[in-house]
């Protein structure tokens, strides 16, 4: 289980990488590092790894954590947004030097 305060702090001021259509506020003032629990690695009262995360604005975070129910958004749709968001977030973290990939070439 990876825990990193640097990764958690990196969300401050970032753009949302979930961008859930109809909900994303595209602002940076409410962005947090949100854990994506449904890809494994989490359980009752336990968050998944800090690598299994997205930069989420407050509105998208509410949808991801299911505090806000959306009738038209299926689980498959939410998995798409979450998977895309994880990829976008990790790329942004690599660009910022927060994650390094051994042997990677630019």
Residue with tokens 């930069």: 55
pLDDT of residue 37: 80
- Helix %, strand %, coil % for the chain, to 5? 35, 10, 55
Q: Domain for residue 14, yes or no?
A: yes
pLDDT of residue 18: 97
Q: Domain for residue 75, yes or no?
A: yes
Domain limits for position 82? 5-95
The whole-model pTM stands at 0.90
Task: Count up the domains in the chain and report the number.
Answer: 1
Torsional sign, CA 80, 84, 86, 89: negative
pLDDT tens string 30-86: 999 999 987 665 555 667 889 999 999 999 999 998 888 888 899 999 999 999 999
- Residues contacting 52, CB < 8 A, separation 6+: 35, 36, 39, 41, 86
Q: Domain for residue 102, yes or no?
A: no
pLDDT of residue 88: 98
Torsional sign, CA 48, 70, 33, 94: positive
| Residue 1 pLDDT level (bands cut at 50, 70, 90) | confident
Separation of alpha carbons 51 and 61, rounded Å: 16
Separation of alpha carbons 20 and 70, rounded Å: 11
Q: Domain for residue 44, yes or no?
A: yes
Q: Domain for residue 103, yes or no?
A: no
Q: Domain for residue 58, yes or no?
A: yes
- pLDDT for residue 106 is more than 80: no
Q: Domain for residue 104, yes or no?
A: no
Q: Domain for residue 20, yes or no?
A: yes
Query: What CATH number did the domain enclosing 38 receive?
Result: 3.30.50.20
């Amino acid at each position: 289980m990876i825990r990193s305060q640097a990764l958690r702090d990196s969300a401050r001021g970032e753009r949302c990488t979930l961008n859930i259509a109809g909900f994303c506020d595209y602002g940076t003032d409410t962005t947090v590092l949100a854990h994506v629990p449904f890809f494994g690695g989490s359980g009752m009262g336990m968050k998944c790894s800090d690598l299994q995360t997205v930069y989420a604005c407050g509105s998208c975070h509410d949808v991801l954590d299911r505090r806000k129910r959306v009738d038209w958004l299926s689980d498959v749709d939410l998995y798409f947004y979450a998977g895309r968001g994880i990829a976008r977030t990790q790329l942004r973290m690599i660009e910022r030097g927060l994650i390094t990939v051994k042997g990677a070439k630019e």
